[in-house]
Structure 1
Amino acid sequence: MITDPIADYLTRVRNAIMAGHRVVEIPASKIKKEITKILFDQGYILSYKFEDNNVQGVIKIALKYNKETKASVIKKLQRVSTPGLRKYFGANDLPRVLNGLGIAIVSTSKGVMTSKQARQQHVGGEVLCFVY
């Protein structure tokens, strides 16, 4: 049993990038689907597909690489809030990642969104991870 499914998600993506894979498969959940949609909207992944062929379902993510250098677009995935130590921030205190070059994914009362979107909607929440 996995105690931290979001950390597992980030680790699977990180490992696939380090191994140079084009596609990674991850067991699905609602929050993982929302994180995947954010990564796609922000341009960190090429595409994604949700498959509900079994009980849990699977998320297939096509990773994005630079054409010339063959380096991944995602440089770092960092888990912030863990099950043992939750990190909550108010709307005015939400962190900026690399002075706005990266994103912080936040779970708010209005859904999962980036810290920039949360700041615009004046909602705080739990900072799940940093991506840059």
Structure 2
Amino acid sequence: MSVTDPISDMLARIRNAHHALHAELAIPASKLKASIAAILKDEGYIEDFAVNESTLSINLKYAGGKPLISGLKRVSKPGRRVYVGSGSIPKVQNGLGISILSTSRGILEGGKAQELHVGGELLCEIW
């Protein structure tokens, strides 16, 4: 089955696995999804991830039985792309969350993109 928006599919699977309190989930792999998972690991939202031939395995992280990710939002969609400059990268939940951008320097977290003075497509927000 073909998926039109693989990033939305990934975020929905993470959200559903957290609601069901699963420890691990597996999704079809791609370089883009692996880059997003690497940012989630660096920011402490997931425990770990591994890329096999065609599968991306993500180990979810919980604190006191509650998921660390309380919300996921896909901002730029296939029908409506959202681009931001380096000076207008939004703060998610007043700095308590992160935004993930696709820039000319790769997939970056919003704060890192501001440091490098690059803008790009605002993929998603996580808090």
Equivalent in the alignment of 1:45: 46
| 2:93 is aligned with 1:98 | yes
User: Which residues in structure 2 correspond to 1:81-96 (within 5 Å)?
Assistant: 81-96=76-91
- Residue 101 of structure 2 aligns to a residue whose secondary structure is strand
Q: Which runs of 4+ in 1 moved over 6 A?
A: none
Identity %: 47
SS where residue 63 of structure 2 aligns?
coil
**Structure 2 residues not aligned, in runs of 5+:** none
1:65 paired with 2:66, answer no
Aligned residues: 126
What SS is found at the alignment partner of 2:51?
strand
The residue that corresponds to 2:106 in the other structure is 111
**TM-score when normalising by structure 2:** 0.97
Per-residue CA deviation, residues 74-100 of structure 1 (Å, 9 max, x unaligned), is: 000110000000000001011110121
> Take 1:100 and 1:114, find their aligned partners in 2: how far apart are those partners?
12
Name 1:77's counterpart in structure 2: 72
Aligned: 1:14 with 2:15: yes
Q: Which amino acid aligns with 1:83?
A: P
Displacement of 1:8: 0.3
SS in 2 for 1:92: helix
In structure 1, stretches of 5+ residues that fail to align are: none
Paired letter, 2:9: D
After superposition, give the CA deviation of every residue in 1:46-80 in whole Å (9 maximum; x if it has no partner): 1111111xxxx11100100113xx11000001100
In the other structure, the counterpart of 1:36 is 37
When the two structures are superposed, what TM-score results if normalisation uses the length of structure 1? 0.94
